[in-house]
Chains A and B, each alone.
Chain A
Amino acid sequence: MDLLQQLTQYAFSGLSTGAIYALIGLGFAIIYNATGIINFAQGEFVMLGGVLTHFFLIVLKLPAGVAMGGAVIATTVIGALFERLTIRPLKRPTPLSLVIITIGGSIFIRGVAMLVWGKDTQSLPPFSGEEPITLAGATVMPQHLWIFGITLLVIAANKFFFYYTIRGKAMRACSFNRTAASLVGIDVRKMVLLSFVISSAMGAMAGIIIAPLTMTAYDVGVMLGLKGFCAAIIGGMSSGFGTVLGGLLLGLLESLGAGLISSGYKDAIAFIILLLILFIRPQGLFSKAQTERV
């Protein structure tokens, strides 16, 4: 295989994991913009998506569509409960206490998942066959195409929601100025809940579409969550294209680094990028002077 072919190969797999990071990163950004919280339980929503699909599909033997839909719905319910039970009851929330709560929540969710489904790594069948396709000299799994397709769809749906529906516009208003938002009659607490609902649903979808490639287990949320966080930081915590580009860039660099240098450095690359961004350009790579928030 010549170098060019190799590069195409790395690019494909990098972009598809990047798409996953982008989805997870968008979840971070949506909650951050609505509440100012970095929700470190975001990765657990991703884990729940995969693990629940496995449970519904393999253990309960439900049809694939039902299993995946059920996993998304169940994760969304858990996300909503998480907000209701841990974030809302706080009388005087400070950023630090909120962050610690989300970390605690993530440990709790992970622990429960371990108790319920065990420590074993589980695999999910790909959505459509395992026959690789040759594209521009690179071998691509059909699952990669599913990932691209679904990510695009989710991003488009997101864009539509935030720019063309009244609730989406209300969420953007809320993230810009909460007081003014409540003066026009927007219930800020409902918007916070809604942000958790959207983010957990998106996280679950990311977890489902990546599970056939990387397997799933009770603890996959930790690393995926951090990678998604990294994507959001590169994108300047915007829930628009900045984070999407951030995710793709991260996936690409990771895959190239792992392929050309050593696969042992794969995770290190993400965190080196994260640190560099935080040191040099904490407002993110793609943000203008003022970030476009949500």
Chain B
Amino acid sequence: MLRLKNINSYYGQVHALRNVSLHLAKGEIVTLIGANGAGKTTLLNTLSAVVPARSGEILFQGEEIVAHPPDRIVELGISHVPEGRQVFKPLSVEDNLELGAYLRYLKKEKAAIREDLEMVYSLFPRLRERRKQMAGTLSGGEQQMLAIGRALMARPKLLLLDEPSMGLAPLVVQEIFRVIENLRREKGTTVLLVEQNAKAALSMADRGYVLETGRMILEGEASELLENREVQRAYLGKEKKEIWER
């Protein structure tokens, strides 16, 4: 469904992605883990064309999308839930969701948008309770739900999630991860999940990639990566001692 070949991208002056390649099959949940500054966010920004790639190829459903502007990418079915949620704080919850379907509004798909709004509200009932509130008044968890809901309003085929667990209580993280799994099960949505919470991400995902200072250093089945000693040491917070003593 998605294939990146030898992508090079810059974050300001920094060469943030070096010859990165990655692929996703339809309906997969793939996670991308790595330390701070490894280039995970830049990778998602490159995919959604916020930071255009300097070189390389991105194929989405067989179409070359590397030169597309951001709105065209959304139109093709890639929605990006950005790091730090970035909801439109001065706007109401419902306005945020409507804007998620902005391009579909321009195409006059009003009835279908109504249905999707109901769908998002049933996924996240708390958003329905707060639909008239300004998004800035929501808690962190609710803002994350709103950011995901907003992305879903575009009916994405591929959902890019940037650290949805950041700064949230474990129970809220569980709820959000459950929704992501349901989405895949019920709608077949493909998910690329960037996480620092490597353990949670790898336990949900099918496959994983490990990014280190702009290079893809490992890839494999999620279960393999969970067992991988290097991954355990670097990203799962296990001490060397623990690993060797097993």
Contacts and interface: CB of A to CB of B under 8 A. Distances in A.
Given A173-B88, A176-B88, A183 B70 contact: yes
Interface stretch (A12-20, A63-71, A164-172, A226-234): A164-172
B191 to A, nearest CB: 16
A184 interface: yes
B91 interface: yes
B102 A184 contact: yes
Contacts of B187: none
B131 to A, nearest CB: 14
A173 B99 contact: yes
Contacts of B98: 166, 169
Interface string B60-91: 00000000011100110001101000111111
A182 interface: yes
A273 B100 CA distance: 42
A183 B91 contact: no
B88 A179 contact: no
Contacts of B100: 184
A186 interface: yes
A184 B91 contact: no
A141 to B, nearest CB: 39
Interface centre among B74, B90, B98 (most CB of A within 10 A): B90
Contact of A177 (B48, B75, B86, B102): B86
A130 interface: no
Contacts, number: 66
Contacts of A169: 91, 95, 98-99
Interface in B25-77: 48, 50, 69-71, 74-75
Contacts of B106: 166
Nearest to B96: A173
B221 to A, nearest CB: 30
Query: How large, as a class, is the contact surface on chain B?
Result: 20 to 34
Contacts of B79: 183-184
B177 interface: no
A131 B98 CA distance: 50
Nearest to A187: B71
Contacts of B48: 183
Contact of B50 (A176, A179, A186): A179
Contact of A183 (B50, B89, B95, B105): B50
Nearest to B135: A176
Contacts of A154: none
A187 B91 contact: no
A267 interface: no
B70 A170 contact: no
Contacts of B88: 172-173, 176-177, 180-181
Contact of A187 (B69, B80, B89, B95): B69
A162 to B, nearest CB: 10
Interface in A6-37: none
A292 B99 contact: no
A166 B102 contact: yes
Nearest to A180: B86
Contacts of A186: 71, 99, 102
B150 interface: yes
B4 interface: no
B24 interface: no
Contact of B89 (A166, A176, A179, A181): A176
A266 interface: no
Given A179-B82, A185-B103, 19 more contacts: A166-B102, A169-B95, A169-B98, A173-B88, A173-B91, A176-B88, A176-B90, A176-B91, A180-B82, A181-B88, A182-B70, A183-B50, A183-B70, A183-B74, A185-B102, A185-B154, A187-B69, A187-B71, A292-B90
5 contacts: A180-B86, A182-B50, A183-B79, A185-B103, A187-B71
